[in-house]
Structure 1
């Protein structure tokens, strides 16, 4: 089957495939979009999309804080420079509006009508006229009084390239001014900085992975051909994998930084199996052609199955509801399958092409005494070992059940990263950078959002929000009533409060005519749908989940549904909803992975009982992985929950290799116990070696600045160690009760 002619034919196909990437060059694109982490099957997403059409996207803004470089904040020169910069930014193409303390005006109501006075004014002699009050501190003025806030609202639905261009233009305008930018936070800034970091990490991990693979190959094979062939195959395989991914139109996203290492370590594991087997046969004195043929005859199916189950572990993420996870699972699964084709198309031809020097015939006929003694000890203490694993599983389940579900917007970044530091600055000095959005609407057409009894319901809501988030600055229809109440009292700051019934009747005429002149983006033209909007610190999905559950109970008990309906919404809410759905997402991914692997094993071994047995030892490492998360304080979130289906897809490879070798040994006529022992001794060494390679490969991720990449390396490396322990200590004992099933299946296969 694997003749020289056929191998060269496959090599020719590989050459044609490689040339296709030269002719049809894929376009490399990096992207990072917060919306990709929204669960698509959540009805709240549809509601927010309609809400955003009415009021605009709640995260299409950029917050910038400017200091006066150690001088007083209210110096005219600084304020004039600040005003000049704001004007230039306002003129940029994709800027919708800009807002600062210089734009704020307070209404004054007199017998002659309404007039608006700036809260901050520079007169003709550049002498500051200061009209603002403490209400603006922590809103447009930092709490420490050292910086001013400039809010830039960009146009909706900017593409990644448009956002990058706009942010670059804003930075250019700042660099051309005399202002000192203290901190910046917002969607277009975060996306651009994330992508820059992704590009740097992508290149770093690709280079580091190749270097580590090279060192491992030198240690393992200590021959030029044992190093050169895998490097060529792995390099071409990675290029093919990313070429196909980009052909499909998928940009490289946040988790793509892991893919070069993933493709390399999975491909290296397959090549180590092949070349180690080939070397063993060459050492027995067989001809090179015969050794190549037998190696691929005997190992192609097991290797194909193991790479397929690994790919299925990732492809199972397609059945989750979060686009970022779906795309990562799909592209990684496809990339692993492409790597398998690279191994099949390139390796035989390269082995036939090169001249492999004759290897000294192996004279070592002694058995592996370590594995031999371990196998004997397992049989002697069979009951004890089984109960130990049962105890570990139960303990892991108890510890794992206590892992908390919690996620933060920027928890993939290290605590000292500049992006995180800027966001924390806005949390401390300006009340937060995460949007708070609550939709409110009157259920009856006869009601108006500015009716007094409706405003009373809104006041209850805002008071409750103040209980949760002390000092939070909120904008809502109630703000209009408070502003008008202050305006009726000649700007007295103490009058900025909910009006009495009599005060309300005085402002009723204005509310009935044109309230849009005060806060146009807070309610619709019919005055029936409105928003309560603000900014909060990132408290995490766990804390916010507790707050929202209590809030919903409050609304149910305290808010009259015939006057007002209330719904929490916004991008931060949707991201938190994604984190809160991790249990469901994890169950979906694992369920699909279990099903796919079970079907493959059932077809391979012609027994559903054996297929079920295959799954059991690979559930134990997942439970142990969950327990470790508890002990190390690692919380469940979207980016850690998906690792369970990925870890299962990779860990199950060892079990498939073990059981496939056992079937081969039984097919040759050996008794069950002798076949089990031979499998344990021969396959055990290979499993230890491949696990070591995989663990070293995933350990590279520990050098990452991204939390998702770091935890992927840590948790999957630990899961692989746990899986090896289960396969070497538990699986052989678990197979013994199926002795008769195995022997009957082998007889049927041999007939």
Structure 2
């Protein structure tokens, strides 16, 4: 690129920057659980229809109110009831369910009467009520903790409440909790979790942006020891990030748990591309070329290579689009676009700056160049002497790594992203231990034929069998279904005895059917449709992870297939928890499917450079190494496949393949100078080898920044991508040259075909 073109390029950068400044929309953050569901999924479509019939299964807030002397304390209960009544006046709170407002029906010859479940009007009534409740599993572990240390308020908020309105509702509830000064309290639910996640995102984004900036400035000063060697790259990188974030916001995107990783990722990617160009420019100056010739040569020689590396890195991120998980899809797409914006920033600003700024300081430049050459020369000599040993070592290690990687299990949790010890995580675990779980479990029920309803006795028997299995298989506490109304009536007919909370005999059920309708219609939660043909079984369970969830789901399917009469009752598992568990499992498969597509495209790019599918395959092999090796690392350290770890493979491949692209383009350039393959490899090793090592160190230092995150996704990305980049350097500098040497005739032929007519057609030196 000459001087005049560099001015046009800088003008282009100015126009793009001005456009994004004028269209700036401001930063917005988002965390929506449904962004981690698989879209274009029949199960998601079914759940959306299901919640139209009944309700969303996670629009609630669990509140546990603690009392040091136990919950059966009249003063404590009075305060709890006042708090509950205050909650009902908060706009957005629909209903509060607790032991304080429960009334149990009692059926006598004179009709149906309802009496408060808990009576604390005097000490005698309280003692009698508490003894009765403690003996009743319908309430203990459901609305009162097993150890009686706390009672539960289940707050139903507006259906499908927005994040903003949910924040307002939760802030008001939290304010009331502090106002009443209970001995302790715990809260868990979507309206709390979303707000907590967004607060974490805002903190993480500010932290990573500032930390990445300081890290890049420090690295630049170490490398160049010049004011413009620090300021210029910083301007280029910040410009690229500004374009990327502006484009995201302009097209309706929002910053979420994934996109907070973009600043450090884009910074180190932009810096590594710039180092390749500046390194070539400095090498030309050391060789006493003029400044203009050095700049022109650097961009001419490396323009295609830097573009291809940007393209392959972008493809690695874009491969995440195939996961069909919105959060991953948009992270991959926008980060892939960000990489290309960084390339545009680099090639529109750097040429003009190099022409108009003085050369970098030359102090000790030649000394360091000699040291680099000495080390790389020694390394290349050892590689050529031990080719068979190196190949065998890589093959054996990679095959073993592939085996261990195949043993890695897929397992994820709803609150995977939260750091260990976070208050929200601790609260959810509290409800898992004390109240049978915080994770909703929903099962759709439908009468097996049009001649039946869910309240036919033989259908109720099937529901009873299903409830027993769900209780044992999922470890659930209290279960609600159409059968709940029947059990409640039977209990009422037996003076409220806990043992009577069961399905009665056929004759007894026939006599109580009118009462079932009356009590059932007064239920707070919708459990069946008006025609009684469709219903739900709703409960909660502890979050044991998607691996355990998959086994539980399979057992449920087997039970339904073998023990439930489909002509009487049809059963289908659904709900947000089921969809998230399924996403953890499917995302791993789809990430690797997307990687296959990325491998194919990179293979085509390499094939385009050398016009040979064999060379393309050779270059792909070293890039399989880091993926399998980090899979092996995951196995040995007990790291499982999940949403937060599967994406690492797409990111790692997109960045690691850059080394191979740079190596092969430089090798092609050396061979076009009529060098034999061995000599061309040697010269490539001395020039590109240094740049590959430097850029890898910078990339690793950038990704290591992510390990300071308190969120799981950035932390795993930082650790595993850093390791994969180190593995990629070993594969590209140790194994790739060894793989290329046996194909010198093929490479020679391909290069000869591409030489221009005025070039010497003599046989390439051996």
The DSSP-based 3-state class of the residue aligned with 2:521 is helix
Aligned CA distance change for structure 1 residues 154 and 658 (closer, same or farther; 3 Å): same
Partner Cα distance (1:403, 1:252) in 2: 31
Partner Cα distance (2:334, 2:74) in 1: 56
Partner of 1:585: 590
Partner of 1:558: 563
Q: Pairwise mapping of residues 403-482 of structure 1 onto structure 2 (< 5 A)? A: 403-470=408-475, 472-482=477-487
Which deviations, in whole Å up to 9, do the C-alpha atoms of 1:19-76 show, x marking residues without a partner?
22332222211011111111113211111111111111101111111123x3442333
Partner of 1:87: 85
Deviation at 1:362, TM superposition (A): 6.2
Aligned CA distance change for structure 1 residues 360 and 140 (closer, same or farther; 3 Å): closer
Aligned CA distance change for structure 1 residues 683 and 335 (closer, same or farther; 3 Å): same
The DSSP-based 3-state class of the residue aligned with 1:103 is coil
Partner Cα distance (2:357, 2:345) in 1: 18
Aligned CA distance change for structure 1 residues 629 and 604 (closer, same or farther; 3 Å): same
Q: Pairwise mapping of residues 316-715 of structure 1 onto structure 2 (< 5 A)? A: 316-356=319-359, 359=362, 368-470=373-475, 472-511=477-516, 515-518=520-523, 520-715=525-720
Contact 1:81-1:178 within 8 A present in 2 as well = no
Deviation at 1:9, TM superposition (A): 2.3
Q: Pairwise mapping of residues 94-493 of structure 1 onto structure 2 (< 5 A)? A: 94-123=92-121, 128=126, 131=129, 133-134=133-134, 135=137, 136-356=139-359, 359=362, 368-470=373-475, 472-493=477-498
Partner Cα distance (2:494, 2:482) in 1: 19
Which deviations, in whole Å up to 9, do the C-alpha atoms of 1:373-408 show, x marking residues without a partner?
222222222112111111011111111111011111
* 1:749 equivalent in alignment to 2:754: yes
Partner Cα distance (1:22, 1:678) in 2: 45
Which deviations, in whole Å up to 9, do the C-alpha atoms of 1:655-675 show, x marking residues without a partner?
011111110000011111111
Deviation at 1:275, TM superposition (A): 1.6
Partner Cα distance (1:520, 1:703) in 2: 44
Contact 1:582-1:636 within 8 A present in 2 as well = no
Partner of 1:40: 39
Partner Cα distance (2:7, 2:127) in 1: 85
Runs of 4+ in 1 over 6 A off after TM superposition: 124-127
Partner Cα distance (2:69, 2:358) in 1: 76
Deviation at 1:648, TM superposition (A): 0.8
Contact 1:396-1:626 within 8 A present in 2 as well = yes
Partner Cα distance (1:697, 1:22) in 2: 27
Contact 1:201-1:257 within 8 A present in 2 as well = yes
The DSSP-based 3-state class of the residue aligned with 1:64 is strand
Partner of 1:49: 48
Deviation at 1:733, TM superposition (A): 1.1
Contact 2:24-2:249 within 8 A present in 1 as well = no
Gaps of 5+ in 1: none
Aligned CA distance change for structure 1 residues 583 and 177 (closer, same or farther; 3 Å): closer
Partner of 1:738: 743
Partner Cα distance (1:519, 1:60) in 2: 14
Which deviations, in whole Å up to 9, do the C-alpha atoms of 1:532-565 show, x marking residues without a partner?
1111110101011111111211111111010001
Deviation at 1:517, TM superposition (A): 2.1
Partner Cα distance (1:316, 1:480) in 2: 50
Deviation at 1:180, TM superposition (A): 4.7
Contact 1:39-1:45 within 8 A present in 2 as well = yes
The DSSP-based 3-state class of the residue aligned with 1:535 is strand
Aligned CA distance change for structure 1 residues 358 and 529 (closer, same or farther; 3 Å): closer
Q: Pairwise mapping of residues 716-735 of structure 1 onto structure 2 (< 5 A)? A: 716-735=721-740
Contact 1:309-1:649 within 8 A present in 2 as well = yes
Contact 2:319-2:597 within 8 A present in 1 as well = yes
Contact 1:475-1:534 within 8 A present in 2 as well = yes
Deviation at 1:124, TM superposition (A): 9.3
Partner Cα distance (1:585, 1:130) in 2: 58
Aligned CA distance change for structure 1 residues 450 and 127 (closer, same or farther; 3 Å): closer
Partner Cα distance (1:541, 1:362) in 2: 55
Contact 2:708-2:715 within 8 A present in 1 as well = yes
Partner Cα distance (2:362, 2:720) in 1: 40
The DSSP-based 3-state class of the residue aligned with 2:661 is helix
Q: How many residues align?
A: 749
Contact 2:224-2:360 within 8 A present in 1 as well = no
Partner Cα distance (2:266, 2:173) in 1: 39
Q: Which segment is superposed worse, 111-120 or 74-83? A: 74-83
Which deviations, in whole Å up to 9, do the C-alpha atoms of 1:565-606 show, x marking residues without a partner?
111111000000011113421222211211221222222332
Contact 1:699-1:713 within 8 A present in 2 as well = yes
Q: Which segment is superposed worse, 738-747 or 322-331? A: 738-747
Q: Which segment is superposed worse, 571-580 or 289-298? A: 289-298
Aligned CA distance change for structure 1 residues 676 and 150 (closer, same or farther; 3 Å): same
Partner Cα distance (1:396, 1:729) in 2: 18
Q: Which segment is superposed worse, 261-270 or 604-613? A: 604-613
Deviation at 1:471, TM superposition (A): 5.8
Contact 2:475-2:541 within 8 A present in 1 as well = no
Aligned CA distance change for structure 1 residues 165 and 293 (closer, same or farther; 3 Å): same
The DSSP-based 3-state class of the residue aligned with 1:120 is coil
Partner Cα distance (2:601, 2:74) in 1: 70
